[in-house]
Structure 1
Amino acid sequence: MNFEEKTIEKESIYQGRIIDVEKHLVSLPNGETALREVVKHNGAVAVCAVTPEGKVILVKQFRKPLEHTLVEIPAGKLEPGEDRVSAAMRELEEETGYRARSLQHIGDVYGTPGFSNELISIYFTDDIEKGEMNLDEDEFVEPILYSLSDIENAVKNREINDAKTLIAFQHALLVYNHSK
């Protein structure tokens, strides 16, 4: 069966600094039509970084759509035309004050494909050095360090519920549990 929805027409609803919103009239596989609201995003990167002492670097950040603070791995949006690896290195240093000497690509994920095209590239590194924090003027984050047991407890207690962070934690726990 063909599941593809063909766009008949689209209307721009909003053009913003981070996202654009469109309304699409689509033809469904059964011949009917439906409306789809689509959020267009340039993409993002995230980094799970581990210090030489084996601590994972996280950030606390208030997330307005949720109206509360999340603990998550450092992440940020891609600038137009920016290379994903360069963006990941930039975001890690800006938000945490640590600089990656190398990155390992964990994978790419769509966080909310039901309405958004945002693709998040997730990276891992345990090859870091001290750098310099340089937050955007409208960005307020607090870097924090979690041990691997802190991570396991936070996940078990459902204190971490950010998808990219949970995916990165799975990778970090696998890497460090296999290296013991």
Structure 2
Amino acid sequence: MNLYEKTIHKNSIYNGAIIDLEVHDVVLPDGQTSKRELVYHNGAVAVCAITPDNEVILVKQFRKPAEKVMLEIPAGKLELNEIREDAAKRELEEETGYIAENLELITEMYGSPGFSNEKISIYLAKDLKQGEMNLDDDEFIELEFYHLKDINKLLQSQELEDAKTIIALQHLLLNYNHYN
């Protein structure tokens, strides 16, 4: 069966600094039509960073859509035409003050492909050097450090609700001996 949905009409609703919104009329595989509400995003990067003391760096920040403070790995959006690895290095230093010379791609993922095209590249960073935090004017972050041996307990606590963070930390658990 061909599962492709062909767009026959699209309506631009909003063009913003971070996202664009469109409504598409589509033809379904059975010939019926339907509407799809789409969020377009330039993409994002996230970094699971391990300090020389075998601690994972997490950031605490308020997330307006969730209306709560969340604990996450450092992350941020791509600038237009920015190379993903460069963006990951930039975001890590801006949010944590740590510099990663080398990054290892863990995975790339779509967080909510039912309505958004945002692709997130998740990297692992080790052998960090101290740099300087440089937060955006509207960004307020607290750093937290968790030793590798405590990651399983953190995941089991259900304190984490962010998908990219859970994926990155589960990757660490599966490869713990390699990173320890």
Which whole-Å CA distance do the structure 2 matches of 1:20 and 1:111 have between them?
Answer: 17
TM-score (norm 1): 0.97
The answer as to whether partners of 2:43 and 2:118 remain within 8 angstroms in 1 is yes
Aligned match of 2:59: 59
Q: Which residue of 2 aligns with 1:173?
A: 173
* Partner amino acid, structure 1, of 2:155: V
* Shift, 1:107, TM fit: 1.1
2:106 pairs with 1:99: no
Cα distance in 1 for partners of 2:45, 2:179 equals 26
CA positional deviation for 1:21: 0.4
Give the corresponding residue for 1:32: 32
Unaligned runs of 5+ in 1: none
Q: Give the alignment's TM-score, normalised by structure 2.
A: 0.97
The equivalent of 1:141 in structure 2 is 141
Whether the 8 Å CA contact 2:46–2:73 is kept in 1: the answer is: yes
What CA distance in whole angstroms lies between the structure 2 residues aligned with 1:179 and 1:18? 35
Work out the number of aligned pairs and report it: 180
Q: Which aligned pairs between 1:108-123 and structure 2 lie closer than 5 A?
A: 108-123=108-123
1:127 to partner: Cα distance: 1.7
Matched residues, percent identical? Answer: 62
Residue 130 (structure 2) aligns with: 130
Displacement after TM superposition at 1:164 (Å): 0.5
The residue type equivalent to 2:37 in the other structure is E
Distance 2:120 2:141 in 1: 19
- CA distance 1:82–1:159, change in 2 (3 Å): same
| Structure 2: gaps spanning 5 or more residues | none
Q: Does residue 14 of structure 1 match 2:14? A: yes
